[in-house]
Amino acid sequence: MLISEKQKSILQLLADGQFHSGTELAEALNISRSAIWKHLNGLATDLGLQHSAVSGKGYRLERPLELLDENEILKSVDAKIKPLISRIEIFDQIPSTNTYLMERNHNHAPSGMACFAEQQTAGKGRRGRRWVSPFGSNIYLSLLWRFQASPLAISGLSLVIGVAVIRALQSQYGDIFQLKWPNDIYCRDKKLGGILVEVSGESEGPCAAVIGLGLNVYLPEAEAAEITQQWTDLCQVTGQPRHNRNALAGELLNQLFLIISEFEILGIASYLDEWRQYDCLKDKSATLHIGQHSYQGIVKGIDDQGLLLLTKPDGNTQAYASGEVSFSGDIV
């Protein structure tokens, strides 16, 4: 479903979470009160944006809404970072921000593109899992960056991106966030977000990376019912019912573009110590899943190439380049 201009205007008027009369809304949009009612019902049915209707008061959204806005995002972007951003696109609804930028990459789009969405209808995580994407609630972001190096040379990029995300979150909310190898954002042993890096290019270089981030700001329990992992969102973590998504989006761009622009020169080694500070798996019993095989042991952190170190029951420690780890009730 594409959101009509009338529907978007209604959302902007109701975004404050206060009651607005049908007459007020109808006059502002120059349409009938019955048309207002139909648009609101359409938003509830198609986007899950529920509203209250009270006689004598009018309509209001069940939760206040802050729509993403390029000008508001740029207010939080540092002057030194802005030249790295070639373009910002914000979609009301899109199948997947990563898929969109992969397509743009094949059409020779410039490096430095950033794509946000209010909702993804086919958002994806690792191994093709669907990423739950309620409208206007979270951060769905993908970046396109072109490297002169080969895909193998940037193999540690997803870990480095995790460091950038943690930096952005810390600047807004404090030192309470963690990383779970290889590409999940955690807080208090619950998943807060995920990273998906897709790389294409010649084996000897150059290559292009599309870097996707899904971050839970507010995730309704009904929407999250199908999630098999323990999850959390920023509203639960901070106890704050509202968050400035535009400011958070701007700070994410600051940290992501800073690290991406440095990574080809500095490599993963410059970020390993910081990544290890945020490691939520270190010294925990865990199970590593690779395809149809599972390996149990104690996680001993990561090596200097970013590989997972797992000490098995026989005492041998082995490094793994890929896989998924479950611990403390996680379900893979």
Phi/psi for 28 (5° steps) reads -65, -35
Coil, strand or helix: which one is 321? coil
The Cα 246–Cα 95 span in angstroms is 21
In CATH terms, the fold of domain 5-61 is Arc Repressor Mutant, subunit A (1.10.10)
30 is known to lie in a ligand binding site: no
Residue 277 has pLDDT above 90, yes or no: yes
Beta bridge partners, 210, equal 144, 198
- Residues 225-247 have a mean pLDDT of 87
Residue 221 has pLDDT above 90, yes or no: no
Q: How confident is the model at residue 132 (pLDDT cuts 50, 70, 90)?
A: confident
CB proximity list for 292: less than 8 A, separation 6 or greater = none
Reported as a single tens digit per residue, the pLDDT across 96-128 is 999 999 999 999 999 999 999 999 988 765 555
| Cβ neighbourhood burial of 265 (10 Å; 0-12, 13-18, 19+) | exposed
Beta bridge partners, 143, equal 114, 211
Q: Where in the chain is the domain with CATH 1.10.10.10?
A: 5-61
Tokens describing residue 267? 């490599």
Reported as a single tens digit per residue, the pLDDT across 20-45 is 998 999 999 999 999 999 899 888 88
Class of domain 70-277: alpha beta
191 is known to lie in a ligand binding site: yes
> Which architecture, in CATH terms, is 285-326?
Roll (2.30)
Q: What is the DSSP-derived secondary structure letter of residue 214?
A: E
Residue 52 has pLDDT above 60, yes or no: yes
255 is known to lie in a ligand binding site: no
Q: How confident is the model at residue 253 (pLDDT cuts 50, 70, 90)?
A: very high
The Cα 131–Cα 111 span in angstroms is 25
Tokens describing residue 35? 């048309």
The Cα 237–Cα 235 span in angstroms is 6
Total count of residues recorded for the chain = 332
pLDDT cut 70: percent of the chain above it? 95
97 is known to lie in a ligand binding site: yes
User: Is 170 within 8 Å of 178 (Cβ atoms)?
Assistant: no
User: Is 217 within 8 Å of 245 (Cβ atoms)?
Assistant: yes
Mean pLDDT value across the chain: 90
- Residues 307-325 have a mean pLDDT of 93
Residue 222 has pLDDT above 80, yes or no: no
Q: How confident is the model at residue 285 (pLDDT cuts 50, 70, 90)?
A: very high
CB proximity list for 165: less than 8 A, separation 6 or greater = 185, 193, 195, 213, 215, 252, 255, 256
Q: Where in the chain is the domain with CATH 3.30.930.10?
A: 70-277
The Cα 167–Cα 174 span in angstroms is 9
Q: Where in the chain is the domain with CATH 2.30.30.100?
A: 285-326
316 is known to lie in a ligand binding site: no
The Cα 327–Cα 332 span in angstroms is 10
Residue that has been written with the tokens 């323990």 in this structure = 230
- Residues 278-303 have a mean pLDDT of 93
Phi/psi for 46 (5° steps) reads -90, -30
**The overall pTM is greater than 0.75:** yes
Reported as a single tens digit per residue, the pLDDT across 157-191 is 999 999 999 999 999 999 999 999 999 999 998 99
Nearest-CA neighbor of 277 among 163, 156, 155, 161? 163
- Residues 147-155 have a mean pLDDT of 91
Range list of H helices, the chain: 5-14, 22-29, 33-47, 70-74, 97-106, 157-173, 234-238, 245-266, 272-277
The pLDDT of residue 329: 45
The pLDDT of residue 332: 41
Q: What is the DSSP-derived secondary structure letter of residue 131?
A: P
Residue 331 has pLDDT above 50, yes or no: no
Nearest-CA neighbor of 212 among 280, 270, 140? 140
Bigger pLDDT: 223 or 199? Answer: 199
Residue type, 13: L
User: Is 211 within 8 Å of 260 (Cβ atoms)?
Assistant: yes
